[in-house]
Amino acid sequence: MNEKAFLPVPENIFVNVLKRLEKNEKSFNDDVVSVRKWMETQLHLPEILDSRCISNFLISNKFCVENAKEKIDMYYTIRSKLHDVYGQINPKLAHMKELMDLVYLVPYPKKLDNIYEIAFFKVRSTTFLDKLEPYNILRHVINIQEVRLRENVLSGDVFVIDCEGLPLSFAVKITPTLVFKSLIMIYEKVFSCCLKDVYIVNLPSFGKAVLAMVKKIIKPKLFERIHICSDINEVKTKIPANMLPKDFGGEGPSCEDLQEMVKLKFMEKQELFDRLDKIRVDERIRPEKLRDDEILGFHGNFKKLDID
């Protein structure tokens, strides 16, 4: 099977990103080389990332080299620290395939404003929806992120979530610990993508309780980026029709077509996912104590999430 880019990368994406973050190409390339040389000295890490992956860590950390190093270390470390997430994450597993029978969770093949990736969530089938597990959704998002890390540019995210059809049984499974792990441990401590906006449509009454819980964990400036929309037409005032799937009233591909794209890409990347199952940090030769080890051990109080 011939591999194709998971999500097409606009030709001028790096120019846009460098301009937005006030960075020039030479210093950016120098930073990539610097991080690669650092990785070569970190014998506890299982491998050395390629330039695209390093570039993405630098971009998502606003070109702060030290922050990028920390996130790269955490990218590997967290796999053994959060075994309940990463232990059953391979997309070939039955529960992960079942997830895609229950819901659509798909990225769109064009970037908004040539910068931001848009991902869409929508119920696919109400049959057996009581089996829908939030942890599997988190795992699916991570798997998509693994592909994006290697093929795309992590320059920012927008999420559009249609809650229609979600049962109360799903909401009660969304615990503070899950939110903490997904938002703080993985989104902030590993991928650090710029979260531009989250648009939520058809929020059920019990969804307010979930949002109240999220509000206690994330910082106000981030919570302000969550927008409750009365209907899809309100979303269309923010996102043009050519950037929306047919299922969301747009002119783009259907969610079913986008889901098939994800399935094919996961199949192409199966060797990668199998390898990720096995790679681990060798803690015996870590040169210095992990700075976020206390957070990973869930000691103390939850910390507020701060993603720009």
- Average pLDDT value for the chain: 88
Q: Are the beta carbons of 54 and 36 closer than 8 angstroms?
A: yes
Q: Quick one: 41 and 173 in the same domain?
A: no
The tokens 């590997």 sit on which residue?
A: 76
What is the model's pLDDT at position 305? 44
Please write the tens of the pLDDT for every residue from 217-257. 888 888 899 999 999 999 999 999 999 999 999 999 999 99
Same domain, 36 and 50: yes
Query: Domain end: 26, 56, 84, which one?
Result: 84
CB atoms within 10 A of CB 116: 19
What pLDDT shows up at residue 187?
A: 81
CATH number of the structural domain spanning residue 144? 3.40.525.10
Specify whether the CB–CB gap between 129 and 163 falls below 8 A.
no
Residue 32 lies in a domain: yes
* Higher per-residue pLDDT: 32 or 114: 32
Residue that wins the pLDDT comparison between 90 and 294: 90
Of 150, 166, 108, 187, give the one whose Cα is nearest residue 273.
Answer: 150
Is 205 a domain residue?
Answer: yes
pLDDT of residue 288: 80
- Residue-wise pLDDT for 154-207, tens only, equals 989 999 999 999 998 998 898 887 877 777 678 878 888 788 999 999 999 889
Confidence band, pLDDT 50/70/90 cuts, at residue 298: very low
Using CB atoms within 10 A of its CB, is residue 220 exposed (0-12), middle (13-18) or buried (19+)? exposed
Same domain for 103 and 225: yes
Please report how many Cα atoms fall inside a 13 Å half-sphere around the Cα of residue 193, on the Cβ side.
26
Does position 296 have pLDDT exceeding 80, yes or no?
Answer: no
Q: 255 and 186, same structural domain?
A: yes
- Same domain for 38 and 90, yes or no, is no
**pLDDT exceeding 90 applies to what percent of the chain?**
60
Task: Encode 241-290 in three state secondary structure.
Answer: HHHCEHHHCCCECCHHHHHHHHHHHHHHCHHHHHHHHHCCCCHHHCCCCC
Q: What angle do CA 22, 26, 28 make, to 5 degrees?
A: 60
Q: What is the pLDDT of residue 216?
A: 84
**Is residue 73 a part of any domain in this protein?**
yes
pLDDT-derived band at 291, boundaries 50, 70, 90: low
In a domain, 212, yes or no: yes
- Same domain? 48 vs 80: yes
| Angle value at C-alpha 154, between 152 and 157, nearest 5 degrees | 115
Same domain, 54 and 184: no
Q: Say yes or no to pLDDT of 112 above 60.
A: yes
- Could you tell me if residue 284 is inside a domain? no
- 139-148: average pLDDT: 95
Q: Is residue 31 part of a domain?
A: yes
Q: What is the pTM of this model?
A: 0.90
**172 vs 210: CA distance, rounded Å:** 9
Lowest-confidence region among 101-105, 125-129, 162-166: 125-129
* Predicted confidence (pLDDT) at residue 120 exceeds the cutoff of 90: yes
Could you tell me if 104 and 196 lie in one domain? Answer: yes
Domain that holds residue 263: 86-268
pLDDT at 301 over 60: no
Domain boundary among 58, 84, 110: 84
- Is residue 202 within 8 Å of 164, Cβ to Cβ? yes
Answer whether residue 226 is part of any domain. Answer: yes
Q: What are phi and psi of 61, to 5 degrees?
A: -110, 25
What is the tally of structural domains in the chain? 2
Q: What is the DSSP letter of 9?
A: P
**Do residue 79 and residue 91 come from a single domain?**
no
Contact of 148 with 5, CB cutoff 8 Å: no
**Are residues 28 and 134 both part of a single domain?**
no
* 295, pLDDT greater than 50: no
Looking at the fold, whether 102 and 228 belong to one and the same domain comes out as yes
Quick one: 130 and 77 in the same domain?
no
Residue range 284-308: average pLDDT? 56
Per-residue pLDDT for 259 more than 70? Answer: yes
- Cα–Cα distance for residue pair 247/122, rounded to 1 Å: 9
Residue where a domain terminates, one of 66, 84, 102:
84
Residue 59 lies in a domain: yes
Distance, CA of 117 to CA of 50 (rounded, Å): 22
